[in-house]
Amino acid sequence: MLSWEPDLRTASIQREVPREPLCERAWVEVDLSALAYNIRQLKSLLAPKTALMAVVKADAYGHGAVTVAETVLQHGATWLGVATIPEGIALREAGIEAPILVLGATYSPEQIRAIAHWQLQATLGSPKQALVFSETLSDMSQPQPLPVHIKLDTGMSRLGTPWQQAIAFVQLVERLPHLKIASIYSHLATADSPDPTIMRLQQERFEAAIAQLQATGIALPRLHLANSAATLTDANLHYDLVRVGLAMYGLYPAPHLQTVVDLKPALQVKARVTQVKTIQPGTGVSYSHKFVADREMTIAVVGIGYADGVPRNLSNQLTGLIRGRRVRQLGAVTMDQLMVDVTDIPHLEAGEVVTLLGQDGRDRITADDWATTLGTISWEILCGFKHRLPRVAVGQS
C-alpha cells in the first residue's frame, strides 16, 4: 500500500478534514480565514448604514454554500443571496437564520408556498408574478406578509420590470394583500468595465425611478444596485446594501479594480500524483497523442480531470505546482486524470500534492489565469468544480 493510501476498511468520507485529506486523490480547499479577511476588507469600503449581502448561489461559487454562509455571517455579512429555492432551503436546513433573498425567478404556487414555508424572500420581476404571489398566499394561513423585493430592469435586459414602469409596478404590489416590499433593486450589466458610461446610465435610470416613487409619497424601502465591481468602484453605488459574490471569494472582477482593496483567493484545487514514470523520445502522451516527447522525460500521472472541473480545453496549456515549482501539463486532460512533466523534480513519489489552482511556495496559479487562457471569466471557472471534489475547509472561521 502506498504511504498516502487510506485503509479502506476504516476510512470514512469526511467533509471537513485537516490539510491534505489522506483518502482523496483530489479536492478543493476553502480557506475560511481568507473569506473572513475579504469580508472585513469589503466592509471597510461601506458606510455603516450599508449592509453586505453575501451572494452564495451556485454552492457559493463552488466553495460550499453552508460553510461559506456560516463564515461570512460571523464576519459582517447580514444577508445571503441565492439563485434558486433549493439553494435557500439547503441553508435553512443547515440552521442558518439570516435573511435569504432568492435572486432568480419564482413563479409557480408550489415555489411560492416553499418560499413562505422556508422564510425565504422573493424577487418580484413582473406584475403577473406579483398577482400569482398574492393569490397563492391568500390561500395560505400566513400570519405575516411575505417580504418581496422589486426588481427593476435598468439596462441588463434580464429579470425585472422596465424602469419606466416602476411606479405602476410598485403601486400594484403595495395594494396587494400578503406582500410587503422589502427592497427595490436592479442589476448592473457593465460594472466591471473601465468605461463607466453604461453603468452610469443604469444608475441614472434607477435614481429617476426612485425619485418618481418618492414624488408619489411612497415610503422608500431598502435600495440596492451594486455587485462586486460596483462595490469596489464607487461608494455612490452602494445605497443600503451591496450584493457581493466574486470579491468575497478573493478575486477581482476586473484588472483595473485590483488596487482598491487587498483580497485573498479562498479556493485552491489540489490533486495527488498517482504514478511516476520515465518515457522515451517519441512517446505520445494521453488521448490522440497531442503531446509527443522529444527527449527522455519523467512524467507524473495526477488524479484529477475534466469530470472534476479541469476544463479539457486547457489541455497542453495547463500548469501545476509541485514543491513550489511549476510543472507543465502534457497532452489531453482526460476525464479523471492528467499528466505533468516532472523531469526536473527529483525523487517524486506517488502521493505528492499538485496544486492546480492556488499558492505553493512563492508561486500562484489563479482562476483568472485559467479564464484568460480559455477566453472566459473567473466566475465560470469557480462554478465549474464538480461535487466529486470534496470541499475541505482550512483556516479559522
Ligand X SMILES: Cc1ncc(COP(=O)(O)O)c(C=O)c1O
Which residues are identified as catalytic? 57, 287
**What is the end-to-end Cα distance of the chain in Å, rounded?**
35
Stretch that binds ligand X, among 167-175, 227-235, 281-289, 324-332 (CB under 6 A): 227-235
Read off the DSSP letter of residue 377: -
Indicate the residue among 183 and 286 with the shorter CB distance to ligand X: 183
Stretch that binds ligand X, among 111-119, 242-250, 257-265, 350-358 (CB under 6 A): 242-250
- List all residues 6 or more positions away from 352 whose beta carbon is below 8 Å from its beta carbon: 272, 273, 322, 323
Indicate the residue among 55 and 354 with the shorter CB distance to ligand X: 55
- List all residues 6 or more positions away from 219 whose beta carbon is below 8 Å from its beta carbon: none
Judged by CB under 6 A, does residue 343 bind ligand X?
A: no
Judged by CB under 6 A, does residue 77 bind ligand X?
A: no
Judged by CB under 6 A, does residue 227 bind ligand X?
A: yes
What residue type is assigned to position 41 of the chain?
Answer: Q
Q: H-helix or E-strand containing 238?
A: none
Residues 247-286 that bind ligand X (CB under 6 A): 253
Position of cell 416553499?
114
Binding mask 28-57 for ligand X (x = CB under 6 A): ---------------------------x--
Exactly one of 26, 103, 148, 392 binds ligand X (CB under 6 A); that residue is 103
Exactly one of 68, 244, 299, 367 binds ligand X (CB under 6 A); that residue is 244
DSSP string, 106-153: --SHHHHHHHHHTT-EEEE-SHHHHHHHHHHHHTTT-SSPEEEEEEEE
Binding mask 282-301 for ligand X (x = CB under 6 A): --------------------
Question: Closest separation between CB of residue 298 and ligand X, Å?
Answer: 41
How remote is the C-alpha of 355 from its chain's centroid?
20
Stretch that binds ligand X, among 42-50, 208-216, 238-246, 262-270 (CB under 6 A): 238-246
CA distance readout (Å), 391 to 31, 65, 84: 10, 10, 21
Task: Tell me if 335 is assigned to a ligand binding site.
Answer: yes
Task: Tell me if 158 is assigned to a ligand binding site.
Answer: yes
Position of cell 492556488?
358
Binding mask 351-380 for ligand X (x = CB under 6 A): ------------------------------
CA distance readout (Å), 11 to 5, 19, 394: 10, 16, 20
Exactly one of 63, 75, 243, 391 binds ligand X (CB under 6 A); that residue is 243
C-alpha span between 395 and 32 (Å, rounded): 5
Stretch that binds ligand X, among 42-50, 222-230, 296-304, 363-371 (CB under 6 A): 222-230
Would you tell me which residues interact with ligand X (CB under 6 A)? 55, 103, 187, 227-229, 243-246, 253
